[in-house]
Amino acid sequence: MSDHAVPIPARRAIVLPSLTFLGLAALALSISVAVSVGAVAVPLGTVWGVVADRLLPGLVEAGWTTGQAAIVWDIRLPRALLAAMVGAGLSLVGASLQSVTRNPLADPHLLGISAGGAFGAILALLHTGLFIGLLTVPLLAFGGAMTTALLVLGISSVTRSTSADRLVLAGVAVSFIVMSCANLLIFLGDPRATHTVVFWMLGGLGLAQWDQLAYPALVLAGCGAWLMSHVRRLNAMTMGDETAATLGIPVARFRLTVFFVGALLTGCMVAFSGIIGFVGLMIPHIVRILVGGDHARVLPFSALIGAIFLVWADIAARTVMAPDDLPIGIVTGLVGGAFFVWLLRRRG
* CATH value at residue 28: 1.10.3470.10
- Would the pLDDT of 17 be above 70? yes
- Would the pLDDT of 32 be above 90? yes
Report how many domains make up the chain. Answer: 1
Query: How many residues appear in the chain?
Result: 348
pLDDT score for 6: 46
Q: Domain residues for 141?
A: 3-347
169 vs 329, residue with greater confidence: 329
Using alpha carbons, list the distances in angstroms from residue 7 to 18, 39, 258. 17, 51, 35
- Would the pLDDT of 226 be above 50? yes
- Would the pLDDT of 3 be above 50? no
Residue pLDDT, tens place only, 129-178: 777 877 788 888 888 888 888 888 788 777 776 666 777 788 888 889 99
Q: In this predicted structure, which of 2-6, 63-67, 191-195 has the lowest mean pLDDT?
A: 2-6
Residue pLDDT, tens place only, 46-59: 999 999 989 888 77
pLDDT score for 348: 54
pLDDT score for 166: 76
User: Please, which pLDDT band fits residue 299 given cuts at 50, 70 and 90?
Assistant: very high
3-state secondary structure the chain: CCHHHCCHHHHHHHHHHHHHHHHHHHHHHHHHHHHHCCCCCCCHHHHHHHHHHHHCCCCCCCCCCHHHHHHHHHHHHHHHHHHHHHHHHHHHHHHHHHHHHCCCCCCCCCCCHHHHHHHHHHHHHHHHCCEEEECHHHHHHHHHHHHHHHHHHHHHHHCCCCCHHHHHHHHHHHHHHHHHHHHHHHHHCCHHHHHHHHHHHCCCCCCCCHHHCHHHHHHHHHHHHHHHCCHHHHHHHCCCHHHHHHCCCCHHHHHHHHHHHHHHHHHHHHHHHCCCCCHHHHHHHHHHHHHCCCHHHHHHHHHHHHHHHHHHHHHHHHHCCCCCCCCHHHHHHHHHHHHHHHHHHHHC
pTM over 0.85: yes
